[in-house]
A and B are shown apart, each in its own frame.
Chain A
């Protein structure tokens, strides 16, 4: 059974701070997605990383896919209250299915 773990589970920080959240697995994925979800809404796709070692930047968010395509990280620079939400990672098992992590709940205080 493929599993994705995310850490930390909860994170509460002040506006302007930097943070990193992690997504780890013992399985290899063909690609990995990061989503942000706000209460009562569906997850919104932020990025897809495909190549081992790949780094993608989306404004203040930097996503990295591990060399072995088993793990990923999301780094947020100068966090803002608008970054608050549940961050989910999902691994694509070569088109067979998607595996979701439990999420990191981020709260950015003004």
Chain B
């Protein structure tokens, strides 16, 4: 079974630009969560999508948004990029229901550098 895939793996943008990151979950997984990871703040939860609906949201500004498609693939968008948005963005998928317990599986991440 293929794992979680994220594209692109690396991105370099300048301040003020916008960026879209993509995540394909494990086949059959309906929940996709996005995290931002920086050396200083660790792993911070952005949002979770389940069946095309945002189910949970972290404490990030409205510049960060996402969506999920009917095939469970998800995209994350960051508008008006700031230097502080430089981070590793991780996507995780889970079955979310139908299992005895819930597990998240992570993709390799997208390294975003804002200049």
Say if A and B assemble together.
yes
- Do B104 and A90 touch (CB < 8 A)? yes
Given contacts A33-B103, A42-B108, A44-B106, contact A95 B56 (CB under 8 A): no
Determine whether the beta carbon of A95 is less than 8 Å from that of B109.
no
Interface size on B, residues (CB 8 A): 25
Check B101 against A30 for contact (C-beta < 8 Å): yes
Report B-chain residues with C-beta under 8 Å of the C-beta of A43.
43, 90, 106
Q: Mark A35-58, 1 if CB is under 8 A from B, else 0.
A: 100001111110010100000000
Answer yes or no: B70 CB below 8 A from chain A CBs.
no
- B58 (CB) vs chain A CBs: closest residue: A97
Q: Flag if B104 contacts A45 (CB, 8 Å).
A: yes
Report Cα–Cα, A97/B35, bound state, in Å.
12
Kindly report which residue of chain B lies nearest to residue A95, judged by CB atoms. B102
A40 to B62, CA, bound (A): 26
Binary B-proximity of A95-107 (CB < 8 A = 1, otherwise 0) = 1111010110000
